[in-house]
Amino acid sequence: MRAEHAGLPWWKGAAIYQVYPRSFMDSNGDGVGDLPGITARLDHIARLGVDALWISPFFTSPMKDFGYDVADYCDVDPIFGTLADFDALVDRAHALGLRVLIDQVYSHTSDLHAWFAESRQDRTGPKSDWYVWADARNDGSPPSNWQSVFGGPAWTWDARRGQYYLHNFLSSQPQLNVHAPAVQDALLDVARFWLDRGVDGFRLDALNFAMHDPLLRDNPPAPPSDKPRTRPFDFQQRVHNQSHPGIPAFIARLRALTDSYQGVFTVAEVGGDEAEREMKAFTAGEEHLNSAYGFNFLYADVLRPGTVCAALAEWPDTPGLGWPSWAFENHDAPRALSRWCRPEHREPFARLKMLLLACLRGNVILWQGEELGLTQVDIPFEMLRDPEAIANWPLTLSRDGARTPMPWNADAADAGFGSAEPWLPVGAENAARAVDRQEGDPASLLNHTRAMLALRNRHPALHHGAVAACRAAGDLLVLERSGEGERIRVVANFGEESVMLDEGQGAGEVLAAINGANAERLPGFAALVVRL
């Protein structure tokens, strides 16, 4: 059972479990996971010891970007169930002591949304300025050089209005004009709708895309870099089609709304070259969001001690500075075990990774199946569903490979997902890591995950304390946390070869020791947590 930390909001130091509805559990055998399926498996989430679950979009949508193209913000897509199913999910989660967070996609909608249908009719209607429309240049070309994330220009011509509309993602995801007060009001009404249904918070998708430069100035070219450029989007500094300085003022309006409810948590997804600056602006003081998370780890090719220290250093325990959230994996990034270690090292590395996540200052977000050690599934081109992967094949590693169905029963043909032909293959390697195989094994990663989250929750220094020190020396990480009269040291070896500890470096009351760690020596991928 999760401990309560007196005087703190429930979300500060929370562990959050992300659920992708299509892939969690299928209750009706149609190949797609759904809300009743999530409800049926909430006990698994609660037993991990997390504080909340975050559910990726389940709203009405044509599913061209699998729910992140919303056609109705205030209803459930029939493939996932009904509003009554959602209400039942919330009730069951609350009964288990879990808070429920949902996605809010405020930067764009589907082109099938009623707002867009009205906006595109003419230039004078009530919603004519609810999206970003602009005239062509004199030669008929788009209004600016902005490029979309998924490839190609960020502008599409619409003959009905005789103008271009902006889309930072798919052409079927027109950009909302969040500069417009009426659009802000409508989005706040959406938030109010879900808060009134009992949700406990929001994860705000692509929030730094919510406003654009009204002057439509061209983006400058990106400076030379050794990073691979697989999309036109990568060739620009995106200073005008995102990251507008007006976004925090809209956030303040959202915060005023959420503060009128009890215990609501808000966290923004922020990516891009200016992520740290924007995350701090979006979470500054008590009038903005509660937290934000970037991509420090999500797209990192390797995990190094220096990466950890650099990320934590951006968020010191300073008054007025926001509270960070961290994720090693999610629905948009390749599975971490497939990025960060060789196949023969996955078992010990998975244990190290989970211990580290539990010891970070901030909130921690687990992606479904991370507690099982799931790896990236190789999806052949003809089975791809991800529009980004299809458009940029084979240079973009498919997001589908991280979105494969959750394995519940290793011996079932569908791994217990609930359908003979799931929307994506489970993957034989991941089926062998099913929940039922790990449940009764005390040494399994599933039970290790539970132990690490329990450790985090028992100790205020780990749960919400400060970073007292963080040092990287080759493969060795030394992380010290302090809070409420306790000081805890984490020493972790990120390499294959053993590391000898300095005298006294591993001394103290042992709270956790993995992969053969002791006070003098850390074998490959070993770690020790001690109270000083």
Ramachandran angles phi, psi of 402, nearest 5°: -100, -5
Are 102 and 221 part of one and the same domain?
yes
Compute CA 11 distance to the chain's CA centroid, rounded to the nearest angstrom: 16
133 in a structural domain: no
158 in a structural domain: no
Q: Locate tokens 């903005």: which residue?
A: 288
Return d(Cα 330, Cα 365) in angstroms, integer: 9
Return d(Cα 110, Cα 267) in angstroms, integer: 23
Return d(Cα 65, Cα 498) in angstroms, integer: 45
* Listed residue (243, 453, 241, 246) closest to 364, CA to CA: 453
> 515, 495 in Cβ contact below 8 A?
no
Domain that holds residue 479: 466-531
What CATH number is attached to the domain comprising 200?
3.20.20.80
Residue 269 annotated among the catalytic residues of the structure: yes
> Which pLDDT score, from 0 to 100, does residue 5 have?
83
What are the residues facing 155 on neighbouring strands? 166
Are 323 and 358 part of one and the same domain?
yes
123 in a structural domain: no
Reduced to 3 states, what is the DSSP secondary structure of residue 250? Answer: helix
> Which pLDDT score, from 0 to 100, does residue 274 have?
84
CA dihedral sign, ordered 162, 166, 167, 173: negative
317 in a structural domain: yes
Structure tokens at 61: 């949508």
Return d(Cα 246, Cα 210) in angstroms, integer: 9
Are 402 and 493 part of one and the same domain?
no
Torsion of CA 251, 253, 254, 259, to 10 degrees: 120
Residues in the chain: 532
The domain boundary residue, chosen from 455, 482, 515: 455
Compute CA 290 distance to the chain's CA centroid, rounded to the nearest angstrom: 15
Return d(Cα 236, Cα 220) in angstroms, integer: 6
257 in a structural domain: yes
371 in a structural domain: yes
Are 526 and 391 part of one and the same domain?
no
The domain boundary residue, chosen from 407, 428, 455: 455
Reduced to 3 states, what is the DSSP secondary structure of residue 346? Answer: helix
Are 306 and 217 part of one and the same domain?
yes
> Which pLDDT score, from 0 to 100, does residue 1 have?
36
Q: Which listed residue (269, 332, 370, 414) is catalytic?
A: 269
Return d(Cα 485, Cα 498) in angstroms, integer: 32
Return d(Cα 430, Cα 397) in angstroms, integer: 18
Reduced to 3 states, what is the DSSP secondary structure of residue 416? Answer: coil
Q: Locate tokens 């990663």: which residue?
A: 445
Compute CA 366 distance to the chain's CA centroid, rounded to the nearest angstrom: 9
CA dihedral sign, ordered 282, 287, 289, 291: positive
Pairing of strands 363-367, 99-105: unpaired
Reduced to 3 states, what is the DSSP secondary structure of residue 60? Answer: strand
Are 69 and 201 part of one and the same domain?
yes
Are 487 and 513 part of one and the same domain?
yes
Return d(Cα 422, Cα 426) in angstroms, integer: 8
> 58, 48 in Cβ contact below 8 A?
no
Reduced to 3 states, what is the DSSP secondary structure of residue 37? Answer: helix
> 242, 272 in Cβ contact below 8 A?
yes
What CATH number is attached to the domain comprising 519?
2.60.40.1180
Return d(Cα 266, Cα 444) in angstroms, integer: 33
* Listed residue (51, 24, 7, 95) closest to 265, CA to CA: 51
202 in a structural domain: yes
Structure tokens at 78: 């029939």
Give the count of domains, the chain: 2
> Which pLDDT score, from 0 to 100, does residue 397 have?
64
Are 239 and 384 part of one and the same domain?
yes
Are 426 and 501 part of one and the same domain?
no
Q: How many Cβ atoms are within 10 Å of 299's Cβ, its own excluded?
A: 12
Residue 118 annotated among the catalytic residues of the structure: no
With 0.75 as the threshold, say if the pTM is over it.
yes
Return d(Cα 491, Cα 479) in angstroms, integer: 6
Pairing of strands 509-514, 486-493: unpaired
Angle at 270 between CA 269 and CA 275, to 5 degrees: 155
The domain boundary residue, chosen from 455, 481, 497: 455
117 in a structural domain: no
> 479, 469 in Cβ contact below 8 A?
yes
Return d(Cα 518, Cα 151) in angstroms, integer: 50
Are 445 and 472 part of one and the same domain?
no
Are 446 and 471 part of one and the same domain?
no
β strands within 411-473, DSSP E: 466-473
Q: Which listed residue (69, 205, 329, 386) is catalytic?
A: 205
Q: What is the pLDDT along the chain (532 residues), one digit of tens a residue?
A: 355 687 899 999 999 999 999 999 999 999 999 999 999 999 999 999 999 999 999 999 999 999 999 999 999 999 999 999 999 999 999 999 999 999 999 999 999 999 999 999 999 999 999 999 999 999 999 999 999 998 899 999 999 999 999 999 999 999 999 999 999 999 999 999 999 999 999 999 999 999 999 999 999 999 988 888 888 999 999 999 999 999 999 999 999 999 999 999 999 999 888 889 999 999 999 999 999 998 899 989 999 999 999 999 999 999 899 999 999 999 999 999 999 999 999 999 999 999 999 999 999 999 999 999 999 998 888 888 888 777 777 766 678 889 999 999 999 999 999 998 999 999 999 999 999 999 999 999 999 999 999 999 999 999 999 999 999 999 999 999 999 999 999 999 999 999 999 999 999 999 999 999 999 999 999 999 999 9
Return d(Cα 321, Cα 314) in angstroms, integer: 10
Are 307 and 408 part of one and the same domain?
yes
